[in-house]
Amino acid sequence: MAAGATYEPIATASGTGSSTTITFASIPQTYTDLVIIAANIDIQIDDMGARLNQDSGSNYSRTRIVGDSSGANSYRNSNLSKVYFGYKDNTAGTQTYGILNLMNYSNSTTYKTGIARYVTHSSGYGIMAEVYLWRSTAAITRIDIDSGNANFSTNCKFTLYGIAAA
């Protein structure tokens, strides 16, 4: 039997066509980990990412691998302003799918680390996997997903799931 009650949908959201931000607020502190699934992210969305607790400071870092037809590459960045887990898809008719894992999000003693992933069909960044760090000990109570440029269309779907260890 699968995880059952430990993989609970907490909230869903869709784009409105008039906003660049999706917000999950008042996140319950009763789970162990969180997962965000982002589906059908439109071709015009450039650098989708999540800001935790509305922190837009340079407090995020990452190490990632990316690849496309020309090769695979690994690099890291410090002092970013959000956790990136999407990239524009330059193939007409296709969408980006992103997944953001937030581990041990409710503790208030450690910096937060997690895993992000997206698949698309863009040149240079067709597929990505990364580990990220948010340099804050605060429990995560709010997540704002920023498109990076254009408005999220009504086709864009987001689900926040809670994973409980017990």
Partner 1 sequence: MANTYKLIEARTLNSNQTSITFSSIPQTYTDLLIKASTRNLASNSSGINIYLNSTTPGSQYKEVRIYGTGSATGSDTGNSTISISTQGGGGGYTANTFGNTEIYIPDYTSSNYKMVSADGVPENNATATLLMLTAGLRSNTAAVTSVILEAYESSFVSGSTFYLYGIKNS
Site residues (vs partner 1, CB under 8 A): 1-9, 12, 37, 39-40, 65-72, 74, 91, 93-97, 99, 117, 119-121, 126-127, 129, 155, 157, 159, 161
Closest contact distance (angstroms) between CB of 46 and partner 1 is: 18
Q: How far apart are CA 32 and CA 166, in angstroms?
A: 8
Closest separation in Å from C-beta 149 to partner 1: 21
Start-to-end Cα distance in the chain: 15
Residue with tokens 């997962």: 35
- Residue closer to partner 1, measured from CB, 99 or 138: 99
- Are the C-beta atoms of residues 22 and 159 closer than 8 Å to each other? no
In the complex with partner 1, the residue whose CB is nearer, 61 or 122, is 122
Whether 118 contacts 126, CB under 8 Å:
no
**Minimum CB distance to partner 1, residue 96 (Å):** 8
- Which of residues 66 and 102 has its CB atom nearest to partner 1 in the complex? 66
* Alpha-carbon distances, residue 126 vs 90, 108, 143 (angstroms): 10, 35, 25
